[in-house]
Amino acid sequence: MTDKLRRIVNGICWYIIILMTVFILLSLLSLYINWSWNLALGTWFIFLIELILFRQTYRIWRELDQ
């Protein structure tokens, strides 16, 4: 059971890492194209939320790994 749970949490970690990368690239693209500062700041806010979620998920993953 813990091996299956560990794989699920590992998949969630990778999903969050990919989302963080997409939001960083979207933020940089919005500044380069000069769309809006609101879009850039919004994507950084979502990035911070994703970072907090990643920290919590990684903490769970480390506890399962022990």
Helices 37-65, 2-33: inter-axial angle, 10-degree rounding: 160
User: pLDDT of the chain along its 66 residues, tens only?
Assistant: 577 877 888 788 788 888 878 877 877 787 777 766 776 677 778 778 888 888 888 888 778 777
- Cα distance between residue 24 and residue 31, in whole Å: 11
Hey, where are the domains in the chain?
A: 2-65
The confidence score (pLDDT) of residue 44 equals 77
Enter the pTM of the model.
0.60
